[in-house]
Amino acid sequence: MKVVGTGTRVLNFLIDTLLIVIISFAFGKWYNFHVMYWGYTPVPPYSFFFCSLFVYYFIFEAIWRRTPGKWLSISKVVDKNGKKASFLQVLVRSLVRLTVIDMFFIPFLNGRTLHDFLSGTYVVEA
pLDDT score of 108: 75
Residue 4, pLDDT above cutoff 90: yes
Rg (CA), the chain: 16
Split at pLDDT 50, 70, 90, the class of 102 is: confident
**What is the distance of C-alpha 90 from the center of its chain?**
10
In this prediction, residues 21-49 reach a mean pLDDT of 93
Backbone angles phi, psi at 76, to 5 degrees: -150, 165
